[in-house]
Amino acid sequence: MVGLRREGRLESVAPLAHRRLRAVTQVVALGHGPSDELRLPARDADGAAALAVVLGEALQTLPRPYRLKLRHLSPQESAVAAVVDALPHVVTALGDVSPRLRLGGDRELRGYVTRNHHQQTRRLHNRIRTAGLRLEVRQLADADDVQDVLPAIEATCRERDLALRGHSGLDDPAYARFFRNVIIAHARLGQVELTTLRLDGDLAAYVLCFRDGSTWRMWHTRVRPRWQKHGAGRLATDAAVQAALRDPECGEFDWMRGAEKYKFSLSDHVYRSADLYACSTAPIWWVSEAARQSRGRLRDLRDAHPSLSRRWQDAQRLLAKPYHLKHGYDPVFAQPTLRRYRLVGHDRVALPGRDGLPPAPSKNTGC
């Protein structure tokens, strides 16, 4: 944990972790992988500049060479620009998009959807009634209620992931603990809003949001495959937005990162994050940048050709099978978890220009 304190008060912090992989020290943010946003909070510009200097010092204490990867940063944060100026061999790139919906004076869902969206929703309700199914939507915020439904949530998530990709992050015991603990901890703080949709008593879909001030941030949602034809996923997301509209304190619904179509159908603007990559030496930098840009071109090619996307998903499922048989989960596709990293520790009681710490460099020292 890289941070600065002055007179006992935390001024700025960068929550980081590291591990040694293939002779390179990998440095990432805490929660790398399952977390949708990263912040480098600082009380003021001086704190942000000092954090960048101390971060550079902390990286120098790690076994070299190192590679720093910070994804889903806010481009507006002053600490991001300060880190770019302070580190050698660094670049920022456009990150993932997060569709968002501003909630105004109209607190009914009909005012935020198109006529086509509204008609499709009515047809789905008619299909459920014609099938003789019992539809039940609940909004859960109590910690005990959320914890009671977690096993069904995990089962639904795993079933959907296996059908879509052939593997699930929840098959990794470390990620499963992270998933469960994050939800329970936030529920006990009164910061979870969980929308569940059941058909004939079976959990068909869910939408899990975190309260963040006046914003509801959608962190996780899944639909059980056998209920897709009844539009359980669409109805659950509609119900989650309607629940946010009933909250007088909610002014925005954030779908978080991902450019899925269902998110854009209930959004009116898009937020784009920034990613930051840095390396300690030029050779590692050249190799890392070449690999990153190649992956980006492959993703663009895949997205431009739907047939390639389908074949890539089929290949993922095929590659996952031997690992499922041997380990019970897929270590290749599982996201890096905190269990595999060590915390980066560095704490300075100083601010630039105040306590003897030199100011951050005014420009980058390498490329």
Same domain, 154 and 288: no
Same domain, 210 and 111: yes
Inside any domain, residue 361: no
Crossing angle of helices 282-304 and 306-327, in 10° steps, is 120
Domain count, the chain: 2
Percent of the chain with pLDDT over 90: 49
- Closest residue by Cα to residue 140 from 230, 252, 228, 239: 239
Q: What is the mean pLDDT of residues 184-192?
A: 97
Question: Among residues 183, 218, 250, which one ends one of the domains?
Answer: 250
Same domain, 87 and 189: no
Which of 153-157, 181-185, 355-359 bottoms out in mean pLDDT, i.e. has the lowest? 355-359
Same domain, 78 and 181: no
Inside any domain, residue 221: yes
Same domain, 123 and 217: yes
Same domain, 108 and 217: yes
CA separation for the pair 100, 121 (Å, rounded): 20
Q: Please report which confidence band the pLDDT of residue 281 belongs to, taking 50, 70 and 90 as the band edges.
A: confident
Question: Among residues 219, 250, 281, which one ends one of the domains?
Answer: 250
Inside any domain, residue 10: yes
Q: Computed from CA positions of residues 274, 101, 219, 334, in that sequence, does the dihedral angle turn out positive or negative?
A: negative
Same domain, 216 and 309: no
Inside any domain, residue 363: no
Same domain, 146 and 218: yes
For residue 319, the enclosing domain spans 2-97+273-348
Burial environment of residue 148 by CB neighbours within 10 A (0 to 12, 13 to 18, 19 or more): exposed
Inside any domain, residue 89: yes
In whole angstroms, how far apart are CA 8 and each of 12, 52, 164, 359?
12, 20, 50, 21
In whole angstroms, how far apart are CA 131 and each of 64, 206, 291?
63, 21, 51
Same domain, 295 and 166: no
* Contact between residue 351 and residue 11 where contact means Cβ atoms under 8 Å apart: yes
Asked whether residue 217 carries a pLDDT value surpassing 90, the answer given is: yes
Asked whether residue 308 carries a pLDDT value surpassing 70, the answer given is: no
pTM above 0.95, yes or no: no
Inside any domain, residue 365: no
Inside any domain, residue 142: yes
Inside any domain, residue 22: yes
Same domain, 198 and 319: no
CATH number of 121's domain: 3.40.630.30
Other CB atoms within 10 A of residue 92 CB: 17
Same domain, 111 and 231: yes
* Both tokens assigned to 193: 């809003």
CA 213 to chain centre: 18
Same domain, 199 and 118: yes
